[in-house]
Amino acid sequence: MRFLQTERRVVDEVFPGLAKNIDEIPWAEREKVGNPCLGLFRDAGGPGLLIPEQYGGRGVDPVDAVRAHRAVGMLSPSLGIATTMHHFSLVPVLAVAAIGDGAELAFISEVARNGLLVASGFAEGRSGQGIMHPTLVAKPCDGGFLVSGHKRPCSLASSMDFLTASAIIPGQDADELAFVLVPAGCPGVIVEKFWRADALGGAESDSVELAEVFIPTELVVRAGAGPDSPLDTVQSVGFLWFELLVSANYLGVASRLAEQVLEKTSLSAGLRVEPALALEGAMSGLENVARRIPPVEQSAATTPDVLEELLGQALAARYAAQEVARRVADSCFELLGGIAFATEPEIAQRVIACHALAFHPPSRARNAENLVDYLTGAAPLRLV
């Protein structure tokens, strides 16, 4: 095992030229709004990472997908977050493509062949609201739905070609959960500035509002369950992949700091090796879960019990990675010293970014009671 050697090999294989091209961009430029990294990601075939080869994608297996995203987080934290959201947006579509009416396959083929970027409009980020409670409402109309609501923050807000989002379809007896595909150029799609933090600015995490946007019926996937129901197959698959990819990204953000500590020969061997070993342990946890999950396009056939178990394991690996990334970043911050802090802005921004994994859903604190119930067998796994 050589530190980050496998991840660098994998990212060069699945995203040819991406690492070399990003390494040539100064840190300040690669992390700012409007940076060239997303364009380089498109050029390297990045949007098709999880899409099967027969539909124009890379068809990368889950383990290599996790490894590639650790490498992307190392290259650019902002790019890592933005592209994780892209893949998360596609997973529900890929999951239902095998049992859909063909519209889903046409969409994912277009994404892969044309390098389209897809933003996620799922409803995280609202204080006091559950992640399965959408901010969007889809009202039936002639030929489709009128979708209204907002998502903030929404990564890829400025560069997205499509937005995928959860929405509520009001019903007489009960509301229904649906997934909608929203072309970014539709009348009524409004993007406004929201993100003002220095760290992760290049992820374009701004506000997206939908004001009665017409979406034809073929771009709406009805989930058949309300937002208070147990996770169904599509939701489970989406969160399973999200937890693995987003965790790998943040481990990558911290890995560059650990690499700098490894290279600092003025420190003792014990101090130099501890951050790298901690990160490798956390990464092994993610890879072990990734080895057990099926390709996305086959996941709809996986039994609910198996998916629930995998998601539980993914959450455990994610929360472990969350602690390791934060602890390693803080440790490296101190070990690299005050001169490095004063002269290399990348260090402070990476440290700050490593704390942000705690903000991604599902929150460990808010789900503590649900996790206890699941781990003790008292109830199925629920996320709020």
- H/E stretch holding 112 reads helix 103-114
Q: Which of 158, 162, 127, 190 is nearest to 366 (CA)?
A: 127
Helix, strand and coil percent figures for the chain, each rounded to 5: 55, 15, 30
Cβ atoms 220, 144 nearer than 8 A: yes
Q: Tell me how many degrees the CA angle 183-188-191 measures, rounded to the nearest 5.
A: 80
Cβ atoms 144, 214 nearer than 8 A: yes
Q: Is 205 part of any domain? A: yes
Neighbours of 149 (CB within 10 A): 20
Residues 87 and 131 reside in one and the same domain: no
SS3 121: coil
Structure tokens at 31: 């992390």
For the domain that residue 286 is a member of, what is the CATH number? Answer: 1.20.140.10
Beta strands 136-141 and 176-183, pairing class? unpaired
Residues 175 and 237 reside in one and the same domain: no
> How far does CA 347 lie from the centroid of its chain?
23
How far is CA 294 from each of CA 67, 109, 297, rounded to the nearest angstrom? 16, 20, 8
For the domain that residue 214 is a member of, what is the CATH number? Answer: 2.40.110.10
State residue 211's pLDDT score: 95
Q: Is 382 part of any domain? A: no
Domain count of the fold of the chain? 3
Neighbours of 329 (CB within 10 A): 22
Residues 112 and 132 reside in one and the same domain: no
State residue 123's pLDDT score: 57
Q: Is 381 part of any domain? A: no
Residues 170 and 45 reside in one and the same domain: no
Q: Is 174 part of any domain? A: yes
For the domain that residue 106 is a member of, what is the CATH number? Answer: 1.10.540.10
Residues 241 and 371 reside in one and the same domain: yes
User: How many residues make up the chain in this entry?
Assistant: 384
Decide which of 89, 117, 145 is a domain's last residue.
Answer: 117
Residues 15 and 143 reside in one and the same domain: no
Residues 179 and 207 reside in one and the same domain: yes
In the beta sheet, which residues pair with residue 72?
A: none
Decide which of 85, 100, 117 is a domain's last residue.
Answer: 117
SS3 154: strand
Residues 211 and 242 reside in one and the same domain: no
pTM for this structure?
0.93
Residues 247 and 354 reside in one and the same domain: yes
State residue 383's pLDDT score: 84
State residue 226's pLDDT score: 57
Decide which of 96, 117, 138 is a domain's last residue.
Answer: 117
Q: Which of 243, 246, 263, 253 is nearest to 330 (CA)?
A: 253
Structure tokens at 220: 């709406």
State residue 320's pLDDT score: 97
DSSP 12-59: HHHSTTHHHHHHTS-HHHHTSTT-THHHHHHHTTGGGTTS-GGGTS--
Peptide bond into 77 cis (omega under 30): no
pLDDT along the chain (384 residues), means of 10: 93 97 94 93 96 92 96 97 94 75 82 95 57 81 92 93 89 81 94 91 94 91 62 78 96 97 96 97 97 82 87 97 97 93 91 94 91 94 85
State residue 128's pLDDT score: 47
Residue 319 structural domain? 233-375
